[in-house]
Structure 1
Amino acid sequence: MTYTLYVTYSLYVKPRGVAAMLKMKSSCETCPAPLRDDAEAFICSYECTYCPTCATDHRVCPNCAGELVRRPRRTTGAAEIARRAPARLRRKIWGTGR
């Protein structure tokens, strides 16, 4: 029996001077468990995302064999971050202002 694995890659090129944010995936790559931004999850260096149960079962990323580490939790949205940021940072992040 022959299996064919199809992998989709997305390339994100960030504009000069803009920090790329971590993609917070909303579900586990192995099981259909939903993952909120503030929930515990594990990622590899390619941002493959796993729930704690699957991460314990795999121990390494099944896609790239990379180390699985705890994903940082996002507790605020971009609007909240922009509200607290100084004006010069808002101009750099959002590309607005002078």
Structure 2
Amino acid sequence: MSEHEKHPSHFAMFFLMGGVLGALAGIFFAPKSGKRLRADLRSKGSNAVDDTKEMYADVSTKAKDIIEDAEHQAEVLKQEAESYLAEARKKVKALFANGEEK
């Protein structure tokens, strides 16, 4: 088995696809009239679109929060690095000043 076939996200994707295909097969082979089948498909399609929009909104909000947190953490790290760099520069200047005096 290759490395990418073992990845958990592949399993989830194939599991989801199998579920969708199974649901479609069940709908199309169910003994319903054409009018009722089309109404069911419209209803289920509308529900799927609504669920997808809601999931997108949730994921979008979470992604924005993660990005904001990462930007904040990057700024904190940048300030810490600048502080350490300024301190190191002072030490180097002091060492050079002591060396020139001797």
Q: Same fold (TM over 0.5)?
A: no
* Bigger Rg over Cα: 2
Q: Which has the higher contact order (CA 8 A, sep 6+)?
A: 1
TM-score range normalised by the length of the shorter chain:
under 0.3
Higher helix share: 2
Q: TM-score, normalised by structure 1?
A: 0.22
Q: TM-score, normalised by structure 2?
A: 0.21
